[in-house]
A = this chain, B = another copy of it.
Amino acid sequence: MSIHVLRIGHRPKRDRRVTTHLLLAARAFGAKGATYTGTKDPSIENTVRKVCLDWGGSFEVGYSKSWRKTIETWRHRGRIVHLTMYGLPIQDAIKGIREDSSDKLVVVGGPKIPGDVFGLVDWNLAVTSQPHSEVSALAVFLHEFFEGKELTIVYEGARLMIVPQEKGKRVETTSV
């Protein structure tokens, strides 16, 4: 069972940092890859690839011209969760999602998600019904989904690795 993230409607100038944070959170909390739609933006792809080179793992970022096509293609592969403040509370629905053994696509939008998305997915899920951020919604969803096990993932092929410290910073470098 693996999780892939679909970020809809990226706008390079306005969203660059938030989308980058979103993609890095997707990686750090256990998703296997992400696709974004909107305007193609090589700079976010490069940032994420650089993080993977340094910190390991095989998280992949791709671009799609059409969120609809990505969702429709995904329906043959697994099931789809849409994170939205209008959906059903995560605390009520997460158990059912965890018990479903198929691969999952997790759809996150910016502020203007097309209304059609709500009808095309298997679950519309709210991580609180309050306004906050797609970054926090995705991270808490993944943390709940993986039940905290994602916190101890070891990333293969890392050049850099942190050795946790009470005070200060310690980073080990592996020559490869």
Give the number of chain A interface residues (Cβ < 8 Å). 55
Residue on B nearest A50 in the bound complex, by CB: B131
Q: Given A118-B168, A167-B118: A24 and B131 within 8 A (CB)?
A: yes
A90 within 8 A of B: yes
A87 within 8 A of B: yes
- Which chain B residues lie closer than 8 Å to A28 at the CB level? 128, 130-132, 136
- Which chain B residues lie closer than 8 Å to A77 at the CB level? none
Q: Are A151 and B131 in contact (CB under 8 A)?
A: no
Minimum distance in angstroms from A107 CB to a CB of chain B = 14
- Which chain B residues lie closer than 8 Å to A139 at the CB level? 132-133, 135-137, 139-140
Q: Are A131 and B165 in contact (CB under 8 A)?
A: no
- Which chain B residues lie closer than 8 Å to A87 at the CB level? 164-166
Q: Are A133 and B131 in contact (CB under 8 A)?
A: no
